[in-house]
């Protein structure tokens, strides 16, 4: 059975292809279009999925779209009339895009893919997330938590997943409907802190560590919740129906003070242990800490409910599962046997859920459910030879304008080292890492989801604040309040992290924030947040042999097989896809070394 | 004939820069965002061209041009980012589609870029002549300098890639016609949109009151999850 899963229309458009229960290819559209969180029809992601597995559109048994356009339309229409007569612009713009495009998604899919409309199926948005989480977990049964801003009509749904005759049975046990949405609440506070909602929630999470949850009690008064996970939000503080006015309204501002101005968080520096916050900044970091605490409390309430009523296995997905600090709280709960978060828990991953579930809709069944787990390296891979050849034709003088204020202002040439043996290449790269170089590390097929897991990564040694600062300012252009993550070889994981956490699959994918053992703090200080936690990726040989070897080789020199690992992308862009994009970032930033598969490029 | 076109274009730019942009900072920011998006789109088309060409020397030329176009996009973006809530003014991402497929000769794609470069350079020169905004003028001066050299560069690669001059001429005219047609479609769409807006306003304000009661009851009912 071959089924294609598609998600697009809101953010993170993606395509995924599953063949007989096996996810074979998946990509977000933004990797190809370079438009971060691109929501448009995933033309090139589909093209890639088909090319990768060598099949054509006519081979597809089903195409499954990740949500139900009619259901969603009723929600959009209802909310646009709610604030009548003050919501004309919401109504007008929604109707223009819905009546001309979004409502006719199935027609478009049928036309684009030249397949009969009967072969196009729809799932509920949260159900797609749940299918991704449950089928990919390989669990026999589980409780599934799905939290995001809003899907068709729901914002939070708890499911129970079981298997019957080789097919997944995913049933909702609790549904929380829009406009009650903790996801939207979190985004609204993100906006209050001066960041882009639906994109920079990770900033709020990072800032939380600088503050104290002083406003927790006040914020909690805006939510009424019960032990059974149901909740309602006091809508008088929010604008969820009139979204052009922003998520929060005047009443919220009256209660919590005016929203943050741009760039006020410059003093929050995780590379400066003696950071001092001004009073005004502190107000906002305290707000961040408060909403973070509130969110954690809700997620753990959901987990407790599941543990008590349904299962000790928990799957978690939806944009809310990107909050690795909350995931860390889940991992510390007593009674959890397993916790699974898919590689892409967000809307890109709902295409994966649609593709996998589509296999079963088309008649596939599987007795051994552990076979359904899928790897993360399912994106596109490229050969780098021609790209490197063209680099050697470039006159470095032409690059002067980008490198004016950098240590490469007098760049003379690029030195290219081609290795036939990956062992020698790794030896050289580990030496360069020891010598405090910033290394762009590009290998094989890309990772699915937002985390760089050793195939599209930027690496440095983990113990150097100054180097990390140079990485933030001269390469990534990233705010200093955002901490970096650490990759550690499975051989050394227990030196860095408590045994209790290591069992979780989420630690292979940088999904769970954990405390760092005291004895290792100094060794990895550049990847530790101000609360002494980190977001580790434990790399084992089976998952990524090359990266595992690099970590070990570096460990021989450094004394701990760990590297600071951040995503290979520039500010405002998605994770890079092709070697050309890696080269572009390499030549115009202060990145010192670029490794493209077995080719190592240095700036001289 | 060409100079008449140029004059009309200049007057149009003058009208926009001196009246529309002055009255409505929002429309100024939208235009700048659109320029940025156009530069980014050129980058994207050029990335495609890069992979269609095999000659490393030509690839290197495309590579440096990609860097420059991306730099332009960033320069325009910086002009917007100095305002509060800059993201509200940015145009949403367009759906991408390559202009030419892998089967097409690559010189056609470069010819398209050549016309795009030329149009952009001309338009920016006109804006530069009319504008009194020092930030914008500074940005444009740098960009115009690059674009002028891109026009020359694109022209020479075009011939080096082995296309016949007559073929190139025909293709350039074809592209010009397509672009004219596209701008006609865009303008018609804009007029059409005004009509659609008016119709939606009638629907909203006449039926809205009734529907809003229903909407409120649905939402309030759904509040109890
Ligand atoms: Fe979602
Ligand atoms: Fe340009
Ligand atoms: Fe140009």
> H or E stretch including A438?
none
Question: What pLDDT does residue A272 have?
Answer: 83
- The pLDDT > 70 percentage for chain A reads 100
- Is residue A243 pLDDT above 90, yes or no? no
- CB of B206 within 8 Å of a chain A CB? The answer is no
Which one has a higher pLDDT value, A103 or A404?
Answer: A103
Which one has a higher pLDDT value, B113 or A290?
Answer: A290
Task: Give B2 to chain A, closest Cα distance, Å.
Answer: 34
Cis bond upstream, residue A253 (ω within 30):
no
Task: Give the distance, in angstroms, between the CA of residue A39 and the centroid of all CA atoms in the same chain.
Answer: 15
Cis bond upstream, residue A396 (ω within 30):
no
How far apart CA A568 and CA A582 sit, in angstroms, is 8
Listed range (A303-317, A498-512, B145-159) with the worst mean pLDDT: B145-159
Residues B36-57 have pLDDT tens digits of 998 999 999 999 989 888 888 8
Rounded to the nearest angstrom, the distance between the alpha carbon of A472 and the centre of ligand 1 is 30
- Is residue A492 pLDDT above 90, yes or no? yes
Tokens describing residue A290: 């408060």
- CB of B10 within 8 Å of a chain A CB? The answer is no
What rounded mean pLDDT belongs to chain A?
95
> H or E stretch including A359?
helix A347-361
Asked whether the beta carbons of residue A578 and residue B223 sit closer than 8 angstroms, the reply is no
Residues facing residue A563 across a β-bridge: A487
Please provide the DSSP assignment of B114-131 as one string: HHHHHHHHHHHHHHHHH-
Residues B80-99 have pLDDT tens digits of 888 777 777 888 899 998 88
- The pLDDT > 90 percentage for chain A reads 89
- Is residue A306 pLDDT above 80, yes or no? yes
Handedness of CA B6, B12, B13, B18 (dihedral sign): positive
Residues with C-beta atoms within 5 A of ion ligand 3: B 117, 147, 150
Kindly state the average pLDDT of the residues A476-482.
Answer: 93
Instruction: Choose among A109, A104, A102, A105: nearest CA to A3.
Output: A109
For residue A497, what pLDDT band results from cuts at 50, 70 and 90? very high
Rounded to the nearest angstrom, the distance between the alpha carbon of B64 and the centre of ligand 3 is 10
Asked whether the beta carbons of residue A85 and residue B224 sit closer than 8 angstroms, the reply is no
Residues A537-595 have pLDDT tens digits of 999 999 999 999 999 999 999 999 999 999 999 999 999 999 999 999 999 999 999 99
Tokens describing residue A62: 């089903």
Decide if B85 contacts B33 (C-beta within 8 A): no
Phi, psi at A508, each rounded to 5°? -80, -15
**DSSP symbol at A472:** I
Architecture of domain B2-175: Up-down Bundle (1.20)
Cβ neighbours around A253 below 10 Å, total: 13
- CB of B215 within 8 Å of a chain A CB? The answer is yes
- Domains of chain A from N-terminus onward: 137-342 (3.30.420.40), 385-603 (3.90.870.20)
Report the residue from B70, B193, B205 with minimal CB separation from A85: B205
Question: What pLDDT does residue B222 have?
Answer: 55
How far apart CA A509 and CA A376 sit, in angstroms, is 8
- Is residue A225 pLDDT above 50, yes or no? yes
How far apart CA A206 and CA A268 sit, in angstroms, is 10
Asked whether the beta carbons of residue A81 and residue B200 sit closer than 8 angstroms, the reply is no
Question: What pLDDT does residue A374 have?
Answer: 97
**First-residue to last-residue Cα distance in chain B:** 68
Decide if A79 contacts B215 (C-beta within 8 A): yes
Question: Which contacts qualify for A258-267: CB closer than 8 Å, 24 or more apart?
Answer: A259/A191, A259/A192, A259/A193, A259/A194, A260/A192, A260/A193, A260/A194, A260/A284, A261/A194, A261/B84, A262/A194, A262/B84, A264/A194, A265/A207, A265/A479, A265/A481, A266/A480
Q: Is A524 helix (H, G, I), strand (E, B) or coil?
A: coil
For residue A489, what pLDDT band results from cuts at 50, 70 and 90? very high
Q: Biggest alpha carbon distance in chain A?
A: 69
- Is residue B1 pLDDT above 80, yes or no? no
- Is residue B224 pLDDT above 50, yes or no? no
Report the residue from A43, A91, A174 with minimal CB separation from B97: A43
Task: Give B5 to chain A, closest Cα distance, Å.
Answer: 34
Tokens describing residue A486: 């650490």
Decide if A363 contacts A140 (C-beta within 8 A): no
Question: What pLDDT does residue B159 have?
Answer: 81
The domain segmentation of chain B, as residue ranges, is 2-175
Interaxial angle between packed helices A279-309 and A324-331, expressed in degrees from 0 to 180 and rounded to the nearest 10: 40
Q: Please, what's the b/e burial string for A195-219 (b: 16 or more CB within 10 A of its CB; e: otherwise)?
A: bebbebbbbbbbbbbbbebebbeeb
For residue B25, what pLDDT band results from cuts at 50, 70 and 90? confident
Considering only alpha carbons, which residue of chain A is nearest residue B215? A78
**DSSP symbol at A173:** E
> H or E stretch including A560?
none
As to burial, measured by CB atoms within 10 angstroms (0-12 exposed, 13-18 middle, 19+ buried), residue B61 is: buried
Residues A464-474 have pLDDT tens digits of 999 999 999 99
Q: How many CB pairs lie under 8 A apart between chains A and B? A: 132
- Is residue B198 pLDDT above 90, yes or no? yes
Query: Which three-class secondary structure string do you get for A244-295?
Result: HHCCECHHHHHHHCCCCCCCCCCCCCCCCCCCCCCHHHHHHHHHHHHHHHHH
Considering only alpha carbons, which residue of chain A is nearest residue B213? A82
Residues A396-420 have pLDDT tens digits of 888 988 998 889 998 888 999 999 9
For residue A395, what pLDDT band results from cuts at 50, 70 and 90? confident
């Amino acid at each position: 059975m071959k089924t294609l899963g598609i998600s697009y229309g809101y953010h993170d458009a993606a395509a995924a292809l599953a063949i007989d229960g096996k996810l074979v290819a998946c990509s977000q559209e933004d990797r190809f279009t370079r438009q971060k969180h691109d929501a448009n029809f995933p033309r090139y992601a589909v093209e890639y999925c088909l090319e990768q597995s060598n099949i054509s559109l006519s081979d597809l048994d089903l195409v499954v779209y990740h949500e139900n356009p009619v259901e969603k339309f009723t929600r959009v229409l209802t909310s646009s009339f709610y604030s009548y007569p003050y919501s004309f612009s919401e109504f007008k713009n929604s109707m223009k895009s819905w009546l001309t495009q979004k409502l006719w998604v199935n027609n478009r899919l049928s036309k684009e893919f030249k397949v009969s409309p009967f072969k196009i199926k729809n799932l509920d948005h949260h159900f797609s997330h749940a299918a991704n989480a449950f089928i990919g977990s390989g669990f026999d049964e589980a409780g599934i938590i799905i939290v995001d801003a809003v899907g068709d009509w729901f914002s939070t749904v708890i499911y129970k997943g079981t298997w019957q005759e080789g097919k997944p049975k995913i049933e909702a046990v609790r549904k929380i409907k829009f406009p009650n949405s903790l996801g939207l609440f979190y985004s609204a506070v993100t906006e209050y802190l001066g960041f882009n909602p639906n994109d920079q929630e990770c900033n709020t999470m990072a800032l939380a560590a600088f503050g104290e949850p002083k406003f927790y009690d006040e914020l909690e008064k805006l939510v009424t919740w019960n032990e059974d996970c149901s909740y309602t939000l006091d809508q008088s503080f929010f604008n969820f129906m009139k979204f052009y006015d922003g998520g929060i309204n005047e009443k919220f501002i009256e209660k919590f003070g005016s929203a943050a101005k741009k760039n006020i968080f410059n003093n929050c520096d995780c590379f400066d242990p003696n950071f001092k916050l001004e009073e005004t900044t502190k107000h906002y970091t305290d707000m961040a800490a408060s909403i973070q605490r509130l969110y954690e409390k809700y997620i753990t309430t959901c987990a407790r409910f599941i543990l008590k009523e349904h299962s000790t296995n928990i799957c978690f997905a939806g944009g809310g599962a990107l909050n690795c600090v909350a995931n860390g709280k889940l991992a510390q709960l007593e009674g959890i046997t397993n916790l699974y978060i898919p590689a892409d828990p967000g809307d890109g991953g709902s295409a994966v859920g649609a593709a996998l579930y589509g296999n079963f809709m088309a008649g596939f069944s599987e007795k051994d459910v552990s076979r359904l787990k899928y790897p993360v390296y399912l994106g596109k891979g490229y050969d780098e030879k021609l790209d490197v050849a063209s680099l050697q034709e470039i006159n470095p003088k032409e690059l002067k304008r980008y490198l004016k204020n950098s240590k490469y202002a007098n760049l003379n040439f690029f030195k290219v080292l081609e290795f036939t043996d990956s062992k020698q290449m790794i030896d050289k790269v580990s030496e360069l890492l020891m010598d405090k170089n910033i290394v762009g590390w590009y290998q094989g097929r890309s990772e699915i989801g937002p985390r760089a897991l050793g195939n599209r990564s930027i690496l440095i040694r983990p113990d150097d604040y100054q180097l990390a600062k140079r990485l933030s300012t001269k390469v990534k252009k990233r705010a200093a309040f955002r901490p970096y993550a650490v990759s550690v070889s499975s051989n050394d994981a227990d030196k860095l992290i408590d045994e209790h956490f290591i069992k979780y699959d989420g630690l292979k994918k940088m999904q769970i924030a954990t405390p760092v053992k005291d004895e290792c703090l100094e060794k990895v200080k550049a990847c530790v947040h101000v609360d002494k936690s980190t977001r580790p990726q434990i790399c084992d040989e089976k998952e990524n042999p090359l990266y595992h070897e690099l970590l070990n080789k570096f460990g021989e020199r450094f004394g701990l097989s760990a590297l600071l690992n951040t995503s290979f992308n520039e500010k405002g862009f998605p994770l890079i896809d092709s070697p050309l994009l890696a080269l572009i970032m390499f030549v115009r930033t202060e990145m010192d070394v670029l490794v493209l598969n077995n080719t190592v490029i240095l700036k001289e | 004939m060409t100079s008449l076109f140029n004059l009309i274009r200049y007057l149009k730019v003058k009208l926009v820069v001196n009246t529309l942009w002055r009255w409505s900072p929002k429309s100024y920011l939208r235009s700048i965002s659109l320029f940025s998006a156009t530069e980014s789109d050129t980058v994207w088309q050029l990335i495609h061209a890069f992979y269609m060409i095999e000659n490393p020397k030509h690839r290197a030329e495309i590579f440096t041009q990609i860097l420059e176009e991306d730099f332009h996009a960033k320069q325009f973006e910086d002009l917007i980012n100095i305002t509060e809530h800059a993201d509200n003014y940015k145009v949403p991402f367009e759906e991408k589609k390559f202009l030419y497929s892998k089967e097409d000769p690559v010189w056609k794609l470069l010819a398209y870029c050549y016309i795009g470069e030329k149009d952009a350079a001309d338009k920016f020169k006109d804006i530069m002549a009319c504008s009194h905004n020092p930030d914008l003028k500074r940005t444009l001066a740098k960009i115009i300098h690059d674009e002028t050299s891109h026009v020359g560069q694109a022209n020479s690669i075009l011939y080096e890639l082995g296309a016949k001059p007559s073929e190139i001429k025909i293709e350039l005219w074809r592209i010009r016609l397509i672009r004219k047609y596209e701008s006609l479609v865009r303008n018609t769409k804009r007029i059409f949109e005004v009509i659609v807006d008016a119709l939606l306003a009638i629907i909203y304000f006449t039926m809205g009151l009734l529907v809003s009661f229903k909407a409120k009851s649905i939402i309030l009912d759904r509040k109890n999850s």
